[in-house]
Amino acid sequence: MLLGGARPKMISSTAMIADALRDAISSSELPPGAPLKQDEIAENFSVSPTPVREALKLLVSEGLATLRHNRGCFVSDLSSAVARELTEFRAVLEPRLAGWAVDQLTERDVEQARVIMRKIDTTGNPARRLLLATDFHAIIYARANRPFFLEQVSRARNNLNRYWRLAWGDKTFPVSAQSEHQEILSLCVARDRDGLMNFIEQHIMISGEVVLRYLQQLESEPTDHP
């Protein structure tokens, strides 16, 4: 059954249904090109079609789903062009969030970030590692007190998570990413705003290049055949 029964069925909120679908898409439970059947989703959540229809509109607006004329709604295909734009989008917004947040971070925030890093080191689940990496950044950015910015960054990361998971597969979380997380935390502790902003931009672009190279390789494969 859709979503594997991981969520409670009695959900009436459009936002909650959209969240469940986002999770399924970002974890590849719903892969690129998978149909998002309104009636099936409504039955799964025991709701009328209306909140499902609104949830699908949200996913389309975020680039996670696409409408095909006379065919319905589908999970968006993967694209190196989209991945590049999402990465660049993050590289513009996230350094600003970090810059606004750095002077507001508490010792508790820093310790929570360290706990998350330790969890990343000990988990073997790729999807879990991605969620933990998102949590690491979110702890820092939350202190910026910019909810609109945070929402836009969250949407971009939700979309990119499925790209990262595909590129990494079952590989170990990149060691370089963890060392970069440590550097981000050290810059936060030092209250080095400029250094932090510059490093986060670099961190985002470097991690994005891993995905871009993988997707570009996939996209080039069909041209190798006559």
What are the residue boundaries of the structural domains of the chain, listed by start? 2-75, 80-221
What's the pLDDT score for residue 176? 60
Question: Would you tell me which CATH number, out of the four given (1.10.10.10, 3.40.50.1370, 3.30.70.380, 3.90.650.10), belongs to the domain 2-75?
Answer: 1.10.10.10
Alpha carbon distance 91, 210 (integer Å): 15
Domain 2-75 shares a fold with domain 80-221 = no
* Mean pLDDT score across all residues of the chain: 85
The answer to which of 4-13, 30-39, 73-82 has the lowest mean pLDDT is: 4-13
Whether pTM exceeds 0.85: no
Task: Report pLDDT for 10.
Answer: 40
CATH code of the domain occupying 80-221: 1.20.120.530
Q: What does the pLDDT read at residue 11? A: 42
Q: What are residue 185's DSSP bridge partners?
A: none
pLDDT score of 7 more than 70: no
Q: What is the mean pLDDT of residues 146-151?
A: 94
Instruction: State the pLDDT confidence band at 222, using cuts at 50, 70 and 90.
Output: low
- More confident: 16 or 90: 90
Residue 170 has pLDDT above 80, yes or no: no
- Minimum mean pLDDT range among 6-10, 53-57, 88-92: 6-10
Residue 53 has pLDDT above 60, yes or no: yes
Query: Residue 22: what pLDDT?
Result: 87
Q: Which of 9-13, 135-139, 156-160, 174-178 has the highest mean pLDDT?
A: 135-139
pLDDT of residue 175: 54
Residues 6+ away with beta carbon under 8 Å from 123: 129, 132
Name the most confidently modeled range: 30-44, 64-78, 98-112: 98-112
Q: Is pLDDT of 201 > 50?
A: yes
Residue 166 has pLDDT above 80, yes or no: no
